[in-house]
Structure 1
């Protein structure tokens, strides 16, 4: 399956034994109707939750518990979806990348698109069989604050800030320091969603980003406040073939560190 899969294509594959669908919707939305067989995973399981940077990765031990609980096995092809346009689904797929599980797809538009296509829904919670998977963390898909500072003057390095323009400009303050990482390009995550097509990734995403100064000639790192919104921007970059990583500490870390440079 392709990285980005459409609802009808997924519906035709629901009987595959090697398919694991993970739904990161709000609990009530999942109970109100989900893709038949989809396992629910609360988004909190993907984050360490430790102040001041709650978006950092949990430990390998904690991730092992999470992935065993949802029944992940090495042979699975995982499809992720959510009810908000791709933030949590993207964060989940990035986490799969971090643990070295490369077989995954994003349901384009998530549950908005599935419902919009009139496809079957279930209200029966899935009960996965726990697995015995062992998880190790590969640092390649992520960057930390020190690594970003080392690359800020590289001409082919770009920071993609997925926060709101108000946060980027320093008008909305959510840390000790306000503003953005020097040289960062602001493209709010929702700008990559098409509201006319059930929040699918916009068809002209490559051209839209190129006009802003983000393209496949660069090494890119993306962040937001806690690597939730940037879960989606990472996913979009990945789907376009970009050399893209994520900064899970995000602004909640950068904006609270004493020695990190800031622009407004």
Structure 2
């Protein structure tokens, strides 16, 4: 059974802990002791508030479910500790210098960096963009104004530009744009909208190229314990962990 060290003890960590089947969480890390202790009790793991001590524990893979800043701070040392690294806050990889350094370290150590599908679908086929020309590639994300602490009485576009620019301005809200960019090998254009009439985060993907064209629309149900978190994003990590040891690989 794969053993997991969990970096970040928030809502996603709790969802992962509730669904342990073919993997086991044995260590959890958070800077806030009460959060680490709570999740450790829920997952029958050991809690850590010192990262170096956390890395000295016995587990196979680190799952980051904390923040862009945490992924960038700890990513390289995780790989150098001999563990594979699951990055939930994929916006961290929009920093080209950091991403290239992380990939070089993974190659040097013979380790893998895993990026879950997160709050969207279709990344497997979007990877055709790595070998086939893409003419149009757009992500349109619509959220409630309250989720971004914005007042708006009508649908309003608050950002239009490239993925890396959107990640810079909204690092907690459009991680999916970097996941799409990495999958396609082609930076996605992003429109970020707020709409007072929506009660779910909506991601629309428009892609057209030599292969044809596709439109994907995902309406995410918020996590029951934290409306700011997409339940699908947490489920995508669970799916990845459940299939790491599966000899039958689908959709890659």
**Fold in common (TM above 0.5):** no
TM-score (norm 2): 0.29
TM-score (norm 1): 0.29
* Structure showing greater relative contact order (alpha-carbon pairs closer than 8 Å, 6 or more residues apart): 1
Write 1 or 2 for the structure with the bigger share of strand.
2
Write 1 or 2 for the structure with the bigger share of helix.
2
